[in-house]
Chain A
Amino acid sequence: MTTEAPATLAEKLWETHVVHRADGEPDLLYIDLHLTHEATSPQAFDGLRLTGRAVRRPELTLALEDHNVPTDSTVIEDPVSRLQIDTLRRNCETHGIELYQLGHRRQGIVHVVGPQLGLVQPGMAVVCGDSHTSTHGAFGALAFGIGTSDVEHVLATQCLAISRPRTMAVEFTGELPPGTGAKDLILALIAEIGANGGQGYVIEYRGAAVRALSMEARMTLCNMSIEAGARAGLVAPDETTFAYLKGRPHAPQGADWDAAVAHWRTLRTDDGAAFDRTVELDVSGLSPLVTWGTNPSQAVPLSGRVPAPASFTDPAERVAAERALQYMDLTPGTPLREVPIDVVFLGSCTNGRIEDLRVAAEVLRGRRVAGTTRLLVVPGSVQVREQAEQEGLDRVFLDAGAEWRLPGCSMCLGMNTDRLTGPQRSASTSNRNYEGRQGATARTHLVSPVVAAATAVAGRLSAPADLG
């Protein structure tokens, strides 16, 4: 018997999906699940039409309407948006692809719905024409975003020709302090390694702080791997993963379940396996983080101040900070807690799940949203919305003066009708604070759900502890 060399989880996942390997060629990988939506698929289906190709395995693709749908009505007024939605509907009809459209009881954001249905399982290879596909790595699945040409390639062949990534271990040591969560964890990592620190890597998140996270928190963590430039993020599956999956509509059942779990237990990095890079981060001193700039790596503790460009030693970072502060209209030295906020957005594939709504509702219970501030609560899916209503969370939000909206990407990306207007400033639980992300001249501060809720009450960036 030969013993195989120790391997990382990422390497194991990769190897099990290789259909073909040859020198000088990228590996041909098999894709177990392809998620798709209206915004990045029309041109891919067009390509199939032009070449007369069929979809190889329609039952391995699930389509959703999320990016370009309104969240205050199920009627799409804008003709350009409607055409995009109608195009997806027609394409799914033509090719026999399951579609959960606006108004369907399973509609929602791709990265919220897939896991919720048990469609994403450990060991799978998952792709979507969307960079936040990294979310699904939370299950110990190899999951990454692709462009529209690759969407067409997957539709036609159920495969992707792609070169092997490098591997990175991120070890979170220590225990997360109360009041902090996965959002703070990932913002801290990105601030540490930079917006390109993960480029070319699959990151495996490890350590006691990760093991202690719920599945939803792990999804938040993996979701923003792309904000560090990583190809994908991963958490090895464990009892938390299995408990989450058990009984979900698409999870294996009976003897299949036992066989699956036995396989899933092997999906871990072997002792002695080598990563191309290892980063260690002690989380025991972590406090809630907030971004001050225009890329997610520009984050500091909420208790801190807007940094001065001169404080950056790297000249490029200094120039970037100057530009960011100008765009954000912030003065160095200003305490972040003094920054007034016009709109709070609670939602997105980063923080639009039931646990996010629960912790935010806890902060809002018995309180009122500030008169100068608007709070939008946008559940990530119909299922999340229904669950929240069963728990009475909608009442808490409405009583506080928040808007309780329908599922979708909403204000995360400035594509549908939910956008900031003019120079409005938001505190947002989403994942990108780029210039113009939430509206042409919008200013975005990324925060966790509890900070979002407290900020809505105070009308300025705040943590729950600040509310007294």
Chain B
Amino acid sequence: MEPLITHTGQAVALRRDDIDTDQIVPAEYCKRVVKSGYADALFARWRQEPDFVLNRPAHAGATVLLAGRNFGIGSSREHAVWALKDGGFVAVVASGFGDIFRRNAMNNGLIPVDQPVEVVQELMAEAERDPSFTLTVDLQQLRLVVGGRSWPFEAEQRARELLLQGLDTIELTMRRGELIEAYERRRPSWLPTVPVGSGSEHATGGAR
């Protein structure tokens, strides 16, 4: 992944609470086996409403999504994050995020910026007044910056470092190979395994 340090972009306000990942990407779009090309899936149902905010030309270039409370709850589908990225978004500013969504977002370089309701409300009002309203998400300093003002936000330290350096999290874990092997030697022998064929007609009858 490309390193991601700071992003400045146009914000758009999606005034809804509890936006679940089924709304971000309906299930029928999750039949695909690829990781990109989900722009058409992003908020597909709501997009059919002509005055849906993301349909307005003035917001076409938005890269920061401002949403209400509790964004990205529900299904674990990472397609929601892929679709937001394919839709041009680099960050989501909201008051609270679903736990799985937050992880998925960081794993893909979409920055979840958790802010108090009052801050989000204020930013939404700005974005509605002026569609060219721009803000900066600084992942290095962990600050959301607008003009001369700024607000801190939190990000899980390791995930943030990986994004800043454009590093691969699997690679990092693989470097702990010896510790993983040591752990595997300590595991109780009765723990179940499912080798290929263990569910075949012949292998049943209680034997492990």
Show the binding face of A for B, using Cβ within 8 Å: 19-20, 24-26, 28, 30, 32-33, 39-40, 42-43, 46, 51, 53, 56, 58-62, 67-68, 78, 80-81, 83-84, 87, 96-98, 100, 104-106, 117-119, 121, 124, 129-131, 145-150, 152-153, 156-159, 161-163, 195-196, 199-200, 226, 229, 231, 247, 249-253, 256-257, 259-260, 263, 295, 316, 319-320, 323, 413-415, 432, 434-437, 440
Residue total for B at the interface (Cβ-Cβ under 8 A): 67
| Binding stretch for chain A, among B129-137, B144-152, B187-195 | B187-195
* Known A432-B22, A436-B26; further 15 A-B contacts with Cβ < 8 A: A40-B77, A46-B34, A51-B168, A53-B170, A84-B33, A100-B199, A119-B194, A129-B76, A146-B100, A148-B78, A161-B158, A195-B70, A319-B17, A415-B28, A434-B74
Bound state CA distance, A98 and B189, in angstroms?
20
Question: In the complex where A157-B180, A229-B73 touch, is A253 in contact with B206 (Cβ < 8 A)?
Answer: yes
| Binding stretch for chain A, among B54-62, B85-93, B101-109 | B101-109
Chain B residue contacts of A104, Cβ below 8 A: 199
- The chain A residue with its CB closest to the CB of B197 is A98
Question: In the complex where A434-B20, A436-B45 touch, is A28 in contact with B173 (Cβ < 8 A)?
Answer: yes
Chain B residue contacts of A32, Cβ below 8 A: 187, 191-192
Report 21 cross-chain contacts, Cβ distance below 8 Å, ordered by A residue: A26-B159, A43-B33, A60-B193, A60-B194, A121-B191, A146-B100, A146-B103, A147-B76, A147-B78, A153-B169, A195-B18, A195-B73, A259-B190, A260-B188, A260-B190, A295-B20, A320-B17, A320-B18, A415-B31, A432-B22, A434-B22
- Work out how many contacts link A and B, with CB atoms closer than 8 A: 218
Chain B residue contacts of A80, Cβ below 8 A: 31-32
Chain A residue contacts of B75, Cβ below 8 A: 130-131, 413, 432
Shortest CB-to-CB span from A352 to chain B, Å, is: 18
Residue pair B30, A440 in contact (C-beta under 8 Å): no
Chain A residue contacts of B16, Cβ below 8 A: 323
Chain B residue contacts of A25, Cβ below 8 A: 157-158
Interface centre among A96, A124, A145 (most CB of B within 10 A): A145
Shortest CB-to-CB span from B34 to chain A, Å, is: 7
Bound state CA distance, A80 and B184, in angstroms?
39
Interface residues of B in 24-61 (CB under 8 A from A): 26-28, 30-35, 45
Bound state CA distance, A452 and B99, in angstroms?
31
Residue pair A256, B190 in contact (C-beta under 8 Å): yes
Shortest CB-to-CB span from B107 to chain A, Å, is: 4
Bound state CA distance, A149 and B188, in angstroms?
28
Instruction: Point out the residue from A20, A97, A157, A250 that lies within 8 Å of B174, measured CB to CB.
Output: A157
Bound state CA distance, A226 and B203, in angstroms?
35
Chain B residue contacts of A260, Cβ below 8 A: 188, 190
Residue pair A149, B104 in contact (C-beta under 8 Å): yes
Chain A residue contacts of B81, Cβ below 8 A: 147
The 5 A-B pairs of least Cβ separation, nearest first, read A147-B104, A42-B33, A149-B107, A415-B27, A147-B78
